[in-house]
Amino acid sequence: MAVYLLLDSILLFIRILGLGISFDFYLKSKESRFIYSCIGWFSWVLSSCISFFSEQKELTPVYDILLLSSSIFLAVGSLLIVTGVVLYFLHISFRFILAICGFAILTPSTAFILVGFELSSLIALIITSCVTFSLLGSGIYQRSNLRSLIGSSMILFYVSAALAVIYAVTRIFLTLPIELDYFFSVMITLLFLLLLIHLENSLSIILKDQLKDRFSHDLGNILQTIVVAESIKRDKLSPGDLKRIDEMLKSKWEDAAKLIKEIRGL
């Protein structure tokens, strides 16, 4: 019992860490994908808390209800965390996300009422696995686009997807020893946490390179125009031409000021 409580505590700590990192990323970027990630990690935290609490309440039907709740939160959390990852390279509509989460909640709950916990837990696992495989498979199908968008995070993406597939298939067809089940749970949680951090770091590097090329190109064009205009002004020009050149120079100086302000705002 003490060993299982320790393993539950480790899993809970990692998931709280994932929630904190996702929330920090959201505060910095305001990207919607981190809203899904935050809700997903929070669901995983709730799943761990319920599992932790259920160890003290091994009484039916309360025990079965707690386990069902833990399974549902685990399923919803898995779907939302994977959605947060896939949103880096693929658009997914809010209605679709809401539909799969609703399906992952209602179907096991209905099965629990009709036939009990064992089948409802298996249904939750199958639903989660099928949707997760489909979402992760979209990344493998679009691997050329994936490489350009997330760079070296592809390797971690494939490793996380492979381990999730192995764990889900094994859980569906076999009864795993509880120690092995905890091992898979901890490893998958750690991998998705590392994937989240690595994805954001890779995206930052890619965006930095893109912005560097863009700003250097735009600033070079502005400076070239200013230099050419100043050299032309040395020639004998009519007042009208000089006025037009001065207006163009003023416009370019304003463009340069806006560009510098944008760079400083990054």
The domain locations on the chain are 2-208, 209-264
Given this model, what pLDDT does residue 6 score? 77
Evaluate whether the domain defined by 2-208 bears CATH number 3.30.420.10. no
Rounded distance, CA 194 to CA 81, Å?
12
Contact 180, 131 (CB under 8 A): no
Q: Is 151 helix (H, G, I), strand (E, B) or coil?
A: coil
- 129 sits in the region (left: phi over 0; alpha: psi -120 to 50; else beta) called alpha
Nearest by Cα to 24 from 41, 8, 9 = 41
For residue 140, what are its two tokens? 């493998």
Position 203: which residue type?
L
Alpha-helical runs (H) found in 142-266: 143-150, 153-173, 178-233, 239-264
So what's the pLDDT on residue 177? Answer: 79
Residue 140, pLDDT score: 65
Say what the pLDDT of residue 108 is: 87
Return d(Cα 19, Cα 51) in angstroms, integer.
Answer: 18
Give the residue carrying structure tokens 């709950």. Answer: 109
Helix (H) or strand (E) holding 17: helix 2-29
pLDDT in tens, the chain (266 residues): 566 677 778 888 999 999 999 999 899 888 888 999 999 999 999 988 887 777 665 555 677 788 888 888 988 998 898 888 888 777 888 898 899 889 888 888 888 888 877 778 788 888 778 877 777 676 666 666 666 666 666 777 778 878 887 888 887 787 777 778 888 888 888 888 888 888 777 777 666 666 666 666 666 676 767 666 666 665 656 666 666 766 776 777 677 777 666 665 55
pLDDT of residue 46: 92
Residue 170 pLDDT: 83
Cβ(44)–Cβ(18) under 8 Å?
yes
167 touches 184 (CB < 8 A): yes
